[in-house]
């Protein structure tokens, strides 16, 4: 068995990874570690009963792969050291998703800590980068909202079926776990229960990532907060090219994802959150609505939108079965 470590293990994504790795037949979770030496934060037993230990570089040294479940701004310096150690690294933060240091600075408000690594980092939307993922040493795990939207859009854009002269509108809703474990006034139970709202309108940090990876400049992205813990449902509004129907778009998606273990294209009906929660699946549907077509995409933000896709990518990077540890 190959060994892996999780740095920043006390958060939702670290705990989710530990849950997934517990049933993995080819990877052993050796280090369940904090992001700093000498510090072992207390963490509730959310998804596993394993205690978080202080960062121990000797433990990391004996591992084949490392997951960084650390905040943006923290991952980059850790990644630099891990790459120098020759480790295969999957970063679940945003530090390597944008392709240029100026873009990163503009979006996240501070200079990138390891700009020399940006060019070599692979953007790990697995179904669209499988060969590059397998060769990667440093991988940027996509954001949860971008994963749900890009899986719906990319095959249609590649096939030239979408009218790029028309604005693409991405309307996405996420459970509260997407905000991370640190409590805030906005994610307090009393403010979420029986409530629903848009947030980050026109300013959300995932919008530049979606534009970069889709190649669409004329794209509007609006996220919403659902009164649930996990899951994302996105509706993407596109204008098909003249003569292109919803059936054509659906056929394109079905062809693109034929044989894919974790992407299901509905022939009829619509995706729902309770069908994808705690799975690494993405469910897609297409429907006609006047002059537009509506793409619906549902994922679990903590699994396919974070830890599950990270494990899918690490499996490829370390030569394991791609679906190992995942459902």
Q: Tell me the CA distances in angstroms from 189 to 46, 184, 233, 278, one per residue in order.
A: 17, 10, 21, 21
Q: Which tokens in the block code for residue 296?
A: 């619906």
Let me know whether 313 and 200 are in one domain: no
Domain match, 89 and 149 both: no
Question: What pLDDT is stored for residue 184 in this prediction?
Answer: 65
What CA–CA distance (Å, rounded) separates 3 from 141?
Answer: 19
Same domain, 164 and 27: no
Residues 201 and 274 in one domain: yes
133: nearest Cα among 100, 99, 81, 88: 88
Would you call 144 a catalytic residue per the annotation?
yes
Same domain, 84 and 190: no
> Tens digits of per-residue pLDDT, 141-193?
999 999 999 999 999 999 999 999 999 999 999 998 766 666 666 666 767 77
Say yes or no: 195 and 76 in one domain: no
Region label for 248, one of left (φ > 0), alpha (ψ between -120 and 50) or beta (otherwise) = alpha
Q: What confidence score (pLDDT) does residue 205 get?
A: 92
For residue 323, is it within any domain?
no
Domain with 100 in it: what CATH number? Answer: 3.40.50.720
Domain for residue 327, yes or no? no
Residue 324 lies in a domain: no
- For residues 226 and 216, membership in a common domain is answered with yes
66 contacts 93 by C-beta, under 8 angstroms: no
Among 48, 63, 69, 144, the one annotated catalytic: 144
In whole angstroms, what separates CA 194 from the centre of its chain?
Answer: 27
Is residue 322, in this structure, part of any structural domain at all?
no
Q: What is the residue-level pLDDT of the chain in tens, covering all 327 positions?
A: 999 999 999 888 999 999 999 999 999 999 999 887 766 665 555 455 678 889 999 999 999 999 999 988 899 999 999 999 999 999 999 999 999 999 999 999 999 999 999 999 999 999 999 999 999 999 999 999 999 999 999 999 999 999 999 999 999 999 987 666 666 666 667 677 778 889 989 889 999 999 999 999 999 999 999 998 899 999 999 999 999 999 999 999 999 999 999 999 999 999 999 999 999 999 999 999 999 999 999 999 999 999 999 999 999 999 999 999 999
Instruction: Look at residue 124 in the predicted model and tell me its pLDDT.
Output: 97
Q: Are residues 248 and 276 in the same domain?
A: yes
Same domain flag for 251 and 165: yes
- Domain membership flag for residue 197: yes
Query: 287 with 267: CB under 8 angstroms?
Result: no
* Domain assignment present for 61: yes
Question: Which of 52, 29, 49, 48 has the alpha carbon at shortest distance from 40?
Answer: 52
Beta-bridge partners for 299: 232
pLDDT the model gives residue 190: 67
- CATH code of 270's domain: 3.30.360.10
Owning domain of residue 105 = 2-142+305-317
Whether residue 98 is found in the same domain as residue 186: no
In a domain, 221, yes or no: yes
User: In this structure, are 128 and 153 located in the same domain?
Assistant: no
Residues 118 and 35 in one domain: yes
Q: How far apart are the C-alpha atoms of 200 and 231, rounded to whole Å?
A: 18
Confirm whether 56 is domain-assigned.
yes
Q: How many residues does the chain have?
A: 327
């Amino acid at each position: 068995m190959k060994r892996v470590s999780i740095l920043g293990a006390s958060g939702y994504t670290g705990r989710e990874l530990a849950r997934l790795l517990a049933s993995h037949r080819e990877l052993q979770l050796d280090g369940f570690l904090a992001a700093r030496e000498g510090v072992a934060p207390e963490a509730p037993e959310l998804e596993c009963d394993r205690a978080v230990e202080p960062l121990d570089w000797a433990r990391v040294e004996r591992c084949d792969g490392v997951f960084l479940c650390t905040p943006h701004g923290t991952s980059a310096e850790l990644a630099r050291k891990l790459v120098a150690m020759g480790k295969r690294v999957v970063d679940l933060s945003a530090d390597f998703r944008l392709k240029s240091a100026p873009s990163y600075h503009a979006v996240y408000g501070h200079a990138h800590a390891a700009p020399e690594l940006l060019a070599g980092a692979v953007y790990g939307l697995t179904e669209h980068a499988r060969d590059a993922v397998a060769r990667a040493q440093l991988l940027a795990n996509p954001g949860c909202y971008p994963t749900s939207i890009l899986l719906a859009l990319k095959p249609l854009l590649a096939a030239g079926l979408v009218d790029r002269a028309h604005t693409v509108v991405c309307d996405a809703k996420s459970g509260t776990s997407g905000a991370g474990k640190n409590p805030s006034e906005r994610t307090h139970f009393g403010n979420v229960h029986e409530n629903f709202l848009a947030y980050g309108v026109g300013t959300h940090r995932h919008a530049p990532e979606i534009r970069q990876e889709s190649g669409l400049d004329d794209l509007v992205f609006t996220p919403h907060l659902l009164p649930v813990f996990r899951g994302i449902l996105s509706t993407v509004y596109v204008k098909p090219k003249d003569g292109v129907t919803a059936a054509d778009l659906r056929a394109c998606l079905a062809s693109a994802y034929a044989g894919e273990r974790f992407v299901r294209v509905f022939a009829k009906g619509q995706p729902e959150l309770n069908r994808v929660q705690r799975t690494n699946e993405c469910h897609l549907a297409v429907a006609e609505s006047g002059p537009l077509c509506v793409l619906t995409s549902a994922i679990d933000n903590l699994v396919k939108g974070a830890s599950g896709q990270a494990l899918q990518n690490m499996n490829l990077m370390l030569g394991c079965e791609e679906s190992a540890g995942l459902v």
